């Protein structure tokens, strides 16, 4: 089996290519840049291609049996220049069309729990929740619209399906995702304060294993939620400190204080050309209903299981301290 993986050098991508290689698949890693530590030394094909370049995508998919589409633009600050929508919606449309033109049999798209409308969800939340629509944050809406494109193709001859992971943590985060940067700072005793709330966290390696299951036994036209375990930001910081030995007590800002401080936090980030400690979107995410998510469907059909968050954090710290983290 030959598997093409878009976004192969990102955090999830680096885990996905390793998982498929370990299962004996031939892997073609596709990204805008492939000369990165994320895939250095691995026995795979490397192809430079952008999801906004349809001919390049079609050439990259040629000869492959499966496309795993990971390439995406993540944002917690809206879509100021339109790149979020271009990448997550038009890029996904291009990838689906290229897969069809290249004669690919199966297309597995990685979306996000953010595509689901969690507002007002009562009891256990699963794949039966509707997707978000107009009025949702730009990133959330882009992931929902990307899903609609992919699942719309499932009835047209392409075996297309969707996975929706929650917050991804774990090793092989060479590109330093936002969550990975947060963990690094927690391990080092950095960050002067914490924001209230928590989130459902899942290990990148468990998502990668579910992707193998999606390729081999997932049902076309279906969406699968991949949730792990809900942990508060405060507890996450404490666990990281216990693991690294750098323990630090930090105040948790009341929500109203965090909301009032948003303009200052974002202005400081702009002055420094960096990322803000938090935004309106990240505050909404950690206040959302992710405590009662169910991955029963993925467990039953894809063999998905989620390891404890503490194990993920220990392995991430171990990876960071080996000198192999880029």
- Nearest by Cα to 150 from 80, 84, 63, 72: 72
Helices 280-287 and 255-271: crossing angle, nearest 10°? 140
Within 133-279, residue ranges assigned H as helices are 138-153, 178-187, 204-217, 233-244, 255-271
Between CA 169 and CA 205 the distance in angstroms is: 9
Between CA 33 and CA 48 the distance in angstroms is: 6
Contact between 56 and 49 (Cβ < 8 Å): yes
Q: Assess whether 139 carries a catalytic annotation.
A: yes
Between the alpha carbon of residue 27 and those of residues 45, 204, 208, the distances in Å are 6, 18, 14
β-bridge pairing 223-226 and 106-110: unpaired
Helices 309-320 and 233-244: crossing angle, nearest 10°? 50
Tokens of 289: 């209903």
Which residues sit opposite 46 in a β-bridge?
29
Tokens of 126: 């699963």
Q: How far is CA 314 from the centre of its chain?
A: 20
Between CA 9 and CA 16 the distance in angstroms is: 10
Q: Which residues are known to be catalytic?
A: 139
């Amino acid at each position: 089996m030959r598997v093409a993986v878009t976004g192969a050098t990102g955090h999830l991508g680096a885990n996905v290519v390793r998982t498929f290689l370990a299962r004996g698949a031939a892997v073609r890693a596709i990204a805008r840049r492939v000369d990165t530590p994320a895939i250095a030394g691995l026995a795979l094909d490397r192809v430079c291609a952008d999801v906004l370049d349809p001919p390049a995508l079609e050439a990259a998919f040629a000869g492959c049996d499966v496309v795993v589409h990971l390439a995406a633009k993540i944002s917690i600050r809206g879509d100021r220049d339109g790149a979020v929508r271009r990448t997550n919606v038009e890029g996904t449309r291009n990838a689906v069309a290229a897969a069809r033109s290249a004669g690919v049999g199966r297309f597995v798209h990685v979306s996000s729990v953010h595509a689901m409308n969690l507002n007002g969800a009562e009891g256990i939340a699963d794949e039966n929740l509707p997707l978000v629509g107009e009025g949702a944050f730009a990133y959330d809406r882009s992931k929902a619209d990307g899903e609609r494109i992919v699942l719309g193709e499932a009835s047209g001859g392409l075996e297309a399906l969707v996975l929706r992971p929650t917050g991804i943590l774990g090793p092989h985060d060479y590109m330093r995702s936002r969550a990975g940067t947060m963990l690094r700072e927690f391990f080092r005793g950095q960050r002067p304060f914490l924001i209230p709330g928590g989130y459902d966290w899942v290990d990148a390696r468990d998502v990668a294993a579910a992707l193998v299951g999606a390729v081999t036994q997932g049902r076309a036209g279906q969406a699968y939620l991949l949730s792990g375990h809900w942990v508060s930001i405060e507890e996450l910081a404490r666990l990281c400190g216990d693991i690294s030995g750098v323990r630090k007590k930090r105040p948790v800002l009341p929500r109203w204080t965090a909301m009032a401080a948003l303009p200052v936090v974002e202005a400081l980030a702009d002055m420094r050309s960096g990322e803000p400690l938090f935004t309106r979107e990240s505050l909404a995410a950690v206040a959302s209903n992710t405590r009662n998510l169910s991955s029963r469907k993925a467990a039953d059909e894809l063999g998905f299981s989620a390891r404890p968050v503490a194990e993920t954090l220990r392995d991430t710290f171990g990876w960071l301290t080996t000198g192999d983290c880029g």
